[in-house]
Every structure is written in C-alpha cells, then in structure tokens.
Structure 1
Amino acid sequence: MIGFDGVSAQALSDTIGAIYDCALDPHQWPDTCRKIADLCESTAGGICVHDMRQVQNDQLFVFGYQPEFLEKLGKNYAQTPMAAADIVSNIGHVSALSMEPHELLESRFYREVLKPFGLLDIIWFPALRTGGRMASMHASRSEKAPHYQQLDIGLFKLLSPHVCRALTISDALDIRALRSEMLEKTLDVLVAGVFLTARDGRVVYMNDAAERQTRTGNSIRIVNNRISPTDPTARAALSKAIDEASRDDIDMDMSEHSLAIPDVDGAGYIATLLPVDRGQRSGIIAPFAASVAVFTKDPAQAPLMPGEAFARLYRLTGGELRVLLALAQGLGAKEAADMLGISEPTVRTHLQHMFSKTDTPRQSDLLRLLQNSTPQIRAPQQPVH
C-alpha cells in the first residue's frame, strides 16, 4: 500500500503515531525526530528552541550535527533566514533554504555557517510559540545530497500539523506556573537564589537573588553558562548532584538533596536540588528546558515568609497557606491549582476552610485581611514642599 508519493502508508502511520506518543512522553522525541528525517532522506535534524527575549538558541533532541556547527548556529541564529521566517510565518508553515537558491548561495549564512560544515539545505517549520519562546522542527541535508524538492516539502507539510499538536499537548500538560510571568515575579522576591538548569547543567533561568549571588562571585559564579562554585570540592559535588538529579532512572520519591557551597571567608550558601522534569512537571521545552532546580540560600539571612504569622494566628494548614499566597499573587482558582499541582476543587475546599477560620464571607475579604496583616516594607515617601 502506497501513501504519499512513494512513502508507504504504514511508514506514515507509524511516524504520526510516534509523534503523538511524544506528547505524553517527551523522551521519545529523539527517535521520532530521526523517523521524520529518515522519511525525507535527511542526515540530521531535531527541535530548536529559540528564546527571542534572551536571543538564545537551544537545540533539543538533535542528531547528525557537529557540536561546532551547533555552537556557530546558536551564535548566528538571529541573522539566519530561519529566525526571520519563524517570526512572520504561521505555526506549521514549512520553509526550505533552497526555496530561494540564488539568495542562499550568495548569503553570508551559507558561506560562514553551512558550507564549512558540508551542509547544503535545511527544511523546517515553527511548531510552538509560548510567550517569548518558540520551538521549530528542522532537518538538513549534506552537500552530497540534492536540495529539498516539492515532494520533501509536501511530506513535511503533511507531518507538521501533527508535530504542532503534539507539542501543544505536551506544553499544556506542563506545570504552567514555571512559565508564568506571575511566578517569575514571585521567584524574584525570594531571598533564596533559584537556578533552573538543563540536563547538561546549563543554566536556563535565574531569579534576581541568584543573579545577585553570582555578581558578588564570592561563592558562586557562572562559567560557560553553568553554576560554578569557587570552592573546587563544592564545584565537583554540585556538578555530580545535578547530573544525578537529571537522570531518567532517579527514584521518583527521592528526597531533596542539599550540599554546602562555602565562600572564601568561610561562610557561603546551602544549595538544595530538586528535579523538575518528573511526572506532571515534564514537558517538551518546559520549564525553560529545565531539568533541575537549585535553590541557594545564605543560612544567616532570615527567610522572607509572607503570611507565616497570619497562618499561625488563624491556624491555617500548610496547604491552605500555599493556596492563600497563590491567590494573593493575583492567580485565579484554576491557575493556583495548576501552579500548586492540585485540583481546582481542592483549592475551593481550602478556601472554604479559610473562610471559616478567619470569619470572612468571600475571597476578597480574606485577601484584604491578609493584606492588612502584612507589615509595610518601605516607609511612605514624604511630600515635597
């Protein structure tokens, strides 16, 4: 049985099935990217995640490329035809560099990025946009093969809607809080530093406290985009801990792991590691392609715990306090449930308990009571006379 101009219907069916399997298990993407590349006789491919705000380009699940090429592509991505096309193209729209062969061969991108590594052509489509990040799937051919033809473009067009849907499903299943601007703001007011790292140890996110810790450089620095404690023993221990926390065979019930990161004066930070790509927290590019969260805190610095005294006063449970603080950040019940990893009915049950304990009739009154109990952090400005 023949499906798409010489590609068997069985091969197409198997590939599309593999694409949707990736929606629930992103670790299957490497094999699926190879299946897609094989269908259009490509020697390399994968998924690119581009952060338009940080002008950062990360290659996920790639194969067939030299590391030097990926590094050079990342540095020059903003000037590539792919970056420009992805901004103006609709999700799923397929493009190939050879669609404009004369412009390609005369371009600096071809001369300085593609040709030195023996690459002839790239075919791709934007597959997902979330905030300032964008994911696209691509495949490429070496100079030993012909340019992509209409048959190859048509095959990519056939597969692109399925890839886009699978990535959208995977993205929707992810813990949305770690991608939300609201949580970013929440992380930025924490006393503890928060570093999110990818599986290879690259730092993909830092909150304000983490940036301040690295700027002082007494205990922690960022070297080659990785957390690098100044103490050699701590540096080796942290690298090993991140690697172990990223492993697929890690115990799902593993307790958080802590280690010391001393500074030159004998003080320093306590680092706590927590895997963030297990179960509900996993996703194709989420959160920020992160695999491990590293929390760094100065033991001598008192933690900022808004609501702790309020909770003790009204005998709120830990779960009730977490719901209250999420709602206080402006989240709705469903958003708070997503952030905390609980159901919306559970959020509403906690609310009812808090209404009873605080003698408030509705959510607005409860939040007003919390606000009134929070001490003023900054002194009011004096009027200018």
Structure 2
Amino acid sequence: MIDLEGVSAQALSDTIGAIYDCALDPQLWPETCRKIADLCESTGGGICVHDMRHVQNDQLFVFGYQPEFLDKLGSQYAQSPMAAADIVAGIGDVNILSTDRQELLESRFYQEVLAPFGLTDMIWFPALRTGGRMASMHASRKDEAPHYQELEIGLFKLLSPHVRRALTISDALDLRTLHSEMLEKTLDVLAAGVFLTARDGRVVYMNAAAERQVTIGTSIRILNNRLDPVDAAARAALSKAIERSAADDVDGTAGERSLAIPDENGAGYIATLLPVQRGHRRDIVAPFAASAAIFMQDPLEAPLMPGEAFARLHKLTGAELRVLLALAQGLGAREAADMLGIGEPTVRSHLQHMFAKTHTLRQADLLRLLQSSTPAVRAPQPADL
C-alpha cells in the first residue's frame, strides 16, 4: 500500500478529477500540472514529448523553468540519464534523478544542465508511447529543497495510471481538432478497440480494431448486441460498470473505470470505460447516442523504443544501456565516458556487468549481440523474397 501521509484524500480526488478533465480538453493540462507539482512540493513541472525519430524534445504545459534551461535540456536530452531510464522503464514507471546521487553529481548532465539553473532533482514517468514519440510527466525541485523521497515517489505512482489514460485518450482522438462528423474515421485508425454503448448496454458502434477483437473472440465477443467477455467474472464486472456509468452520469458523479478482460490463457485486454453523456463528451459522440466509451487495449502491444527489448531481455540498468548505446555509435571507452560525463572506470565497470548479464567476453561480442537483436528497418517486400 502506498503511504501518502500528509496528502489529503480531497486533494487527491480533486487532482485525479482534473487529470480526466484534461483527456477531453488538453488546454487544462497547465493548471493540472501545477496541481500535481504542488502536491509533491515541486517548483517546476509539466509534460515533455520526445520525438525519437527526429531527436526533438518539446516541452508542453511546463512552468517554473527558465527558457535557457529548456533549450539546454532539449539539446542534451538524448544523452541524459532520463533518456536511458525511459528506454528501460515501462510506461508509468516512476524515476528520480537522485537514485544514485553520487553518480548524478559527478555527471556532465548535472554539472552542465541542472546545476547552472539551481535544479537539485527531477521526478518523472513515461506516460505515453506512440510510434517514435514518447510523452512523460515530470516535476522538479531547486535550490536547497531536499531530494525526492518515498512519499513523492508513491504519489507519482498513484497518479501515473490516471495521467496515462488521460493522455492516451486525448492523443488518440486528437480532440483539439476533432469534429463530430469526423469521429468514425478518426476512431477507425486507432490501435485500441473502441466500443460505444447505449445506456442499456447495447453496442452502437465499434471501430475497426474492436471488430478485429470481437472476430478473434478469445477475450471479448458480441452476444445479443452486447459486449460478452469470455471470462464470467469479467462479464459480470463489465455489465455492472456500464450500468453504474449510466447511473453515475445522471447525478454528476461519473468517473473512469478500468477492468481486466482476460482470455483462457492468461492474456487478454485492459478495458477503460469512460462515461460520455455529459458536456463536451456528449457533444462528440452525439451521432451515436452513446452512454459510454470502452477502450479495449492489449497491454503487450506498446511499441518498443530503440534498445528497450535488448535491455529488458538481459536486465540491463539505465546506466548500463546508456554506455552500450554510446559504444554502439563507434566510441571507445574513454570517448563514451567523456560524452556521458562519467569516469572511464565507471564505463568499464558497466561493461563488465553487461558481459556477465549477456554471457559475452568482449566488447565486440556484446555489440554484435546488440546488432543481431535489432529489427530490420523495414519488412521484406515481395520483390526481396
């Protein structure tokens, strides 16, 4: 259980409610980011979007930072401890820069990016991955403020799934530009299955992904025009959630719910149910006379970032992966140490740990193993076969 002593239940409830408001109105994120930063006594924060293909780092809805710091962070993000940690971490995993304080203080990232602007620590979690983009939420402390502790980490862990769902819905639907007449076309390009249901539970719309999930039929089916999970417990829970959603929406207490929709083999989907009968949500789905939107997502379908699968397979740490990716660029140990802002002995120590984890003996063997684990840039075309 997460210990959040000193954080009131009302403050948590208000913040979580504000997060879900952002799902349908992204312009509310600046105020919500400040709410989250206030809860963990931070001086700055916001949402950062990293474009891994074009090596761009865009700060959205940020506050508490000098423009010069944001420019410097953007130019050095790819070589930062944050980038390496995000490659290894799963969506929603909370990290703090001061996990290894001594290594942080000795790093070039701290000396050149954080220290000149008085920043002492940052806390963050990856919240969304779509193709080559990744969005993360962060907060920071500066000057004499203490490093983040278990309380702040626990708070971020609690808020993480709510932020992730809100960003996923907002990003997928792109509600800032969506018009009702474009809804069906927009929903059909989503990877997640989207089911719109009426107040009595009847399915009034399925996007293309939802139709595929129903056709496969290992976790979810349609019976009498209603969603019918294969698992009996999930069937009862989903029916009750749809019913409660309609009732809650009437008295204004509606909120998001998530349910497991398993198959017989221990896999399946995560269903996120969102009431849509009030305000902006109602206007968007008006053509379908829907009461609830159910997003059905396979949790194993998140796209991988470069090096992520290799790091997870061999249980590499973020620091080890940073060294490996630097060496993969053709740098020697001394050059890699200089680029990463750490000592050459630290690079060699990380190398020894990676040799042991990957059962390799030399740097050349390690790099060959990494290269052989990297997927082809494109799938073979018929002419290539």
Which of these two proteins has the greater Rg computed from alpha carbons?
Answer: 1
TM-score, scaled relative to structure 2: 0.46
The answer to which structure, 1 or 2, has the higher relative contact order (CA under 8 A, 6+ apart) is 2
TM-score, scaled relative to structure 1: 0.46
